[in-house]
Amino acid sequence: MNVVPAEAPREHTEFAYVFTIIPSLDDFHAHQRAATVSAQVTSPQDGIIGVKLIHWAGQVNNSPYDRLNTTSGHTNIIHDNLANKLKYASGPLALDVNTAANELDFVFRSLSGKKLTDHSFRSIGYVADQRNEAHRYEDGLYAAKQGYMLAELDLSVGEKVYGLGERFGPFAKNGQTFNIGNEDGGTRSELAYKNIPFYISSNGYGVFINHPGNISLEVQSERTTRVNISVPDEEIEYFIVYGDSPKDILRRYTALTGRPGLVPSWSYNLWLTTSFTTNYDERTVTAFLDGFRDRDIPLGVFHFDCFWMKSYQWCDFQFDEEMFPYSVGYLKRLKGRGLRISVWINPYVAQASLLFEEGKANRYFIKRIDGSVWQWDFWQAGMAIVDFTNPAACTWYSTLLERLMEIGVDSFKTDFAERIPVKSIKYHNGANPVRMHNYYALLYKRTVYKTLSTRVGDNQGLLFARSTAPGGQAYPVHWGGDCESTFEAMAESLRGGLSLMLCGYIFWASGIGGFEGTPSPALYKRWVQFGLLSSHSRLHGSSSFRVPWICGEDCSIVIRDCVKLKMLLTPYILAEALRGHRDGTPLMRALFLEFTKDLNTYAIDTQYMFGSNLLVAQVFNEAGEVTFYVPKTEEGTGSGHLGSIFKVWYAEAHDFATMPILIRPGSVIMTNPKLKTPEEDALHGIQLLVNGTLPAESVVEIVNPGQTDQVLKTLRLTRTSDNNDTEVDWVDEREKLCFRRWTKIIVKKTSICFQKVIFQIKLFKYQYVR
């Protein structure tokens, strides 16, 4: 192949270099039939370089995606015509292009010279699928063909790939094939609710495919040394995101696509739902709430699933008067119990809904090509779909939600939005239906989230969402969908959550106990431990309730103590969430995010870090047996789990009162045993759990529970001597900051505990500085 370069624009470095790739053909007639591909090199942010490959440039730009966040002034271009070399640098990332005839090559490197990935031999292409519905005599030149753009990125020896949204299969994506298209498929297949065309490589970079339509990826499944990326389109664009660490990659990726939103502190409470298809009314709900109160199980949020509305009328946004005849008064009574209220919604309107005729008359629904309302009977009889590309429809939908908020609703479970048609329909704004399939979920969630934020303020509203698209991290929270009530599904859910949280999402939850089926008592208790050490914790099922005493009173004891443990950790959780909001680091994270140099951590998908300093190893069997890995660390000194020095695997057996939760050496964890709810006074009763020898300086932020994007106080801990004397530069005037000596945290001998710590916790002497 030959390359014909174009002069680089001199004023806009975001669009820095364009050149055309042409076949090396000597025959004149071959030239008449040859295709060319243009390549456009861009850099929207420091440390990010994009390549757009274009076959035909005459397409209508009806892509629904938002603009990516861009900056300027960070690029440098050197074009050596004699050597046929182009060097394009963006901060710490460089792209070297060999433009010599028949030697085309793209090589991405760090500025230190390390090769990250490249386009090597036969890695860029355009393919035309000539199978079409047109008759041979009607389309003799096969002009009615589907074109595909192809880009293949090389993988080095031993390189692993992670992410691509909420994927429930093997954690490392090598050897698998993926279609980036949202589907309602549960957690037991290759289908996914949350498809994100972004992956992180163990070789020090990430890849974001900036294409809203269908994307196919073969990760070493077609070519054994490549990631094949193809789209049924005339152009494809991808961005290489560089980072010194996986956290640094996420920081740059979320700078490009949007920082994660924050949530109010009350959302960290335990949530209870009515489950999906259960029969319930006011008396049922009240009995459940009384059961939690009588068993001293803290409960913060109650959720009404779909049958709060009348059957065949989803969504009309009105309580079923037969089941809840005095709904306004009842919500007030629930509020009097100190509860927040959530209700289930979806973006569909059934034909029997009182809202259907209004939506039809005002053209608020997705249309067929002939202008009629698109309808089907699959979920609700005669169901229509709200068209969120229509600003008037968004306003209408928001008004319906505002009425619910006025009577006490605090949050919405934004279910569904995966079953969106792509053929023979049209949107209000003319968007391409295929490209809208995934993006529709984002418009739906954005509309609801903005409605909440308008009422309660920025970073104070939240959803419970099942589907999403790139950028959806700005509209938290997301949960893992419809899993079975098995230990295997619990492990599937964890893999899915960890994969999603490698794509810029910092909050995630699963349905405690599983969704399909009824959990055994053992499974229920283990999932309670898992769910209460997730960012958000919700009891939810399908055809059976998830109140603990149904599985046995011992389940009530476990959940009570797990909730209280999470309450104890509220100051730590708030601080870690704020850090994720700033830089994209998730609250629940794969081990390799924290222990990048320990290659063993890249294969582990049954453990995770809960924040920066707590290592959690879940138990996935009836017997309570668990094998877990303790990485080697560079912080702290002391004794305990020898893995802190030597990288060790441990095999242990745990009853339902315990599980492995390890404290990172050289760390400080904020706790507050006086908290009854996460919203309470953050300063009164703060205690610092110190593990091992602290660094020379440590900083701890105390976050305002009333406004979770604000810091109330910053503690600076400075080690002043080899004896580990430490100065603290702030003390609560009402109660001195307390440092406790713990080797375990046990709540009345029955809770999850810090069973063993990486290093035995030492008691330090502190000098209080007023």
Q: What DSSP string describes 522-585? A: HHHHHHHHHHHTSSSEEE--SSS---GGGG-HHHHHHHHHHHHHHHHTHHHHHHHHHHHHHH--
Q: Which amino acid, 552?
A: G
* 415 carries an active-site annotation: yes
* 482 carries an active-site annotation: yes
CB of 47 closer than 8 Å to CB of 41: no
Nearest to 752 by CA among 638, 617, 587: 617
Which one is catalytic: 159, 237, 482, 679?
A: 482
Tokens found for residue 392: 């008037």
Beta-strand relationship, 367-368 and 411-414? unpaired
Beta-strand relationship, 607-610 and 614-617? antiparallel
* Helix or strand holding residue 24 (H, E): none
Q: What DSSP string describes 486-515? A: SHHHHHHHHHHHHHHTTTT----B-EET-S
Task: Find how far residue 482's CA is from the centre of its chain.
Answer: 17
* 484 carries an active-site annotation: no
Rounded distance between C-alpha atoms, residue 363 and residue 540, angstroms: 35
Rounded distance between C-alpha atoms, residue 312 and residue 292, angstroms: 32
Rounded distance between C-alpha atoms, residue 605 and residue 585, angstroms: 17
Rounded distance between C-alpha atoms, residue 369 and residue 423, angstroms: 9
Residue tagged 């399939």 (tokens): 437
Dmax (CA) for the chain in angstroms is 91
Which one is catalytic: 237, 305, 410, 418?
A: 418
Q: Which amino acid, 40?
A: Q
Q: How many other CB atoms sit within 10 Å of the CB of residue 640?
A: 21
Q: How many other CB atoms sit within 10 Å of the CB of residue 33?
A: 9
Beta-strand relationship, 738-739 and 687-691? parallel
Rounded distance between C-alpha atoms, residue 109 and residue 171, angstroms: 26
Rounded distance between C-alpha atoms, residue 19 and residue 448, angstroms: 43
Which one is catalytic: 415, 594, 598, 679?
A: 415
Query: Which residues are known catalytic residues?
Result: 415, 418, 482
